[in-house]
Amino acid sequence: MITNKNTDGNSNSKNKTFRKKSPSTADLVQGILNGDIATLARAITLVESTNIAHFQKADDIINQCLPHSGKSIRIGITGVPGVGKSTFIETFGTHLTALGKKVAVLAVDPTSTISKGSILGDKTRMQELVKDRNAYIRPSPTGYSLGGVARKTRETIILCEAAGFDTILVETVGVGQSETAVHGMVDFFLLLKLAGAGDELQGIKRGIMEMADAIVINKADGKNIEQANLAKVEFSKALHLYPPKENGWTPKILSCSAIQKKGITEIWEVIKAYIDDKPGLDGILEKRKIQNKYWLLQTIEDRLKQQFYENKNIKNHLEQMIKLVVDGKISPFNAAEKLLRLSKEPNS
C-alpha cells in the first residue's frame, strides 16, 4: 500500500521512515530511475528534510536526476477555496491515468507550514486517485516559508519526472503569493472558477486572471449550467481586453462538472493543443529556460535578503527605522543607507 506513504504529510514520521536505513545516493537515484515509488517517496522526504546533514545528499540526487527530468507536462491548478479543486484533481487525474498517463499530484500550500496539514492531506477527497497505481499524491512540504515550499516542490517535480511521471499536477490554495510561485514552475496554468463571476471575483487576487492559460468554470451542472454559460461569455469578453500572452497563446474558457465527470475531455484537449502545436512546445521549452533562470536569480535575492534581515544590528534597528520612515521623519532612501551601513558594523 503505497498510498499511506504517499499521503503521509507528517515530516517526523517521514524522517523516522528514512532513519530506519539510509540507502546511498546511487541507490536512491537508481530506484527513482526504475520508477520505484517507495524510493521516490524516500528521496522526496530527504529533499524536504530540514536537517542540514541531508542537504548535500539531496542536492546530489537532484542534480543526478536532472538529466532524466523535464519529459512531462507540468500543470498548475488554482482557485479559491470551495471551487472544488480536490474533486477536480480526483476526476481529472483518474481521467489521465485511464489514458495511460502517469500522474503526480503535488501541492504548494504555505498554510500547511502552520497547520502541519496540507490541502492534499485529506485523502478522503481523492479516494479514487490515492488507490490508483499510476498516480502519486504528495502533500505540500511543511516547515518552510512559501519560498522554501516552492523550492522543495520544484525539486520534487524533478524527482517525479525522473521516476517516469509524465503529467505533474501542482495544486495551490492561493495563499499569499503561492499562485505566482506555482505559475513560475508549470507549463500550463489552470484557474478554476465558479459561475457568477461578479461576486466570486472578490475572492481572486489581482493578476491571477492574467496568469491563466485556461479558466475552467466548475460545478457547471444542474441549475448552474445556464449561469456557467453566462460566466463563460463574460470571461471571454474580459480576456479579450487583456494584453496577449508572450507565447501567442490565447487563454481558453471552459466549463466542467468535476463531480459528474463532464467536460473533462475538453479540458485535456485544450492542454494537448497547447503542448502539441509546435510553437506551443517551443513555448514550453523556452518558458522552462526562463523559469530556471528566474529561480536562480530569485533564490539569490531571497538569500541576500534573509542574510540581511537576520543580521543582529538590523533586527535591533529595523522596526524603529521603519517607524521614522512611515511617519515621514526621515526619507526612505536615507534610512536604507543607514541600515545598510549598520549591517556592516559590529553588533550594536
> Collapsing DSSP states into helix, strand and coil, what is residue 121?
coil
The reply on whether position 124 binds a copy of itself by CB under 8 A is no
> What is the rounded CA–CA span in Å between residue 160 and residue 68?
10
Residue 126 CB, nearest distance to a copy of itself (Å)?
A: 29
Percent of residues in the chain assigned helix, strand, coil, to nearest 5: 60, 10, 30
**Contacts of 116 by beta carbon, 8 Å cutoff, 6+ apart:** 9, 10, 142
Residue with cell 536532472: 66
Q: For residue 233, state whether it binds a copy of itself (rule: CB under 8 A).
A: no
DSSP secondary structure string for all residues of 229-263:
HHHHHHHHHHHHTSPPPTT-PPPEEEE-BTTTTBS
Binding mask 281-300 for a copy of itself (x = CB under 8 A): -------xx--xxxxx--xx
Which of 12, 241, 310, 346 touches a copy of itself (CB under 8 A)?
A: 241
Does residue 249 bind a copy of itself (CB under 8 A)? no
Shortest spacing between CB 57 and a copy of itself, in angstroms: 12
71 is a contact residue toward a copy of itself (CB under 8 A): no
Phi, psi of 241 (to 5 degrees): -90, -10
Task: Give the Cβ contact number of residue 216 at 10 Å.
Answer: 27
Contact between 187 and 287 under an 8 Å Cβ cutoff? The reply is yes
Which of 305, 312, 316, 320 is the binder for a copy of itself (CB under 8 A)? 305
Which residues in the 328-347 window bind a copy of itself by CB under 8 A?
Answer: 328-337, 339-340
Q: Does 20 bind a copy of itself (CB under 8 A)?
A: no
Residues 6+ apart with CB under 8 A from 208: 78, 174, 179, 191
Between 117 and 196, name the residue whose CB sits nearer to a copy of itself. Answer: 196
Closer of 116 and 288 to a copy of itself (Cβ):
288
- By CB under 8 A, tell whether 131 contacts a copy of itself: no
Using rule CB under 8 A, residue 248 touches a copy of itself? no
Binding of a copy of itself by 234 (CB under 8 A): yes
- Interface with a copy of itself, residue 175, by CB under 8 A: no
Which are the contacts of 78, defined by CB distance < 8 A and separation ≥ 6? 85, 171, 172, 173, 174, 179, 182, 189, 190, 191, 192, 208
Q: Does the protein bind a copy of itself through residue 207 (CB under 8 A)?
A: yes
198 lies in the binding site for a copy of itself (CB under 8 A): yes
Instruction: Check residue 238 for interaction with a copy of itself (CB under 8 A).
Output: yes
3-state class of 108 per DSSP?
strand
Name the residue nearer to a copy of itself (CB basis): 70 or 117.
70
Shortest distance (Å) from residue 132 CB to a copy of itself: 29
- Strand, coil or helix: 246: coil
Residue with cell 519560498: 147
- Is residue 309 exposed (0-12), middle (13-18) or buried (19+ Cβ within 10 Å)? exposed
Nearest-angstrom CA–CA distance, 129 and 94: 6
Q: Looking at beta carbons only, is 126 or 215 nearer to a copy of itself?
A: 215
Output the smallest distance, CB 21 to a copy of itself, in A.
Answer: 26
Site for a copy of itself (CB under 8 A): which residue of 202, 345, 347, 348?
Answer: 202
**Largest separation between any pair of C-alpha atoms in the chain:** 68
Instruction: State the residues that interact with a copy of itself by CB under 8 A.
Output: 59, 62-63, 66-67, 69-70, 151, 154-155, 158, 197-198, 201-202, 204-207, 209-210, 234-235, 237-238, 240-244, 288-289, 292-296, 299-301, 303-305, 308, 321-322, 325-326, 328-337, 339-340
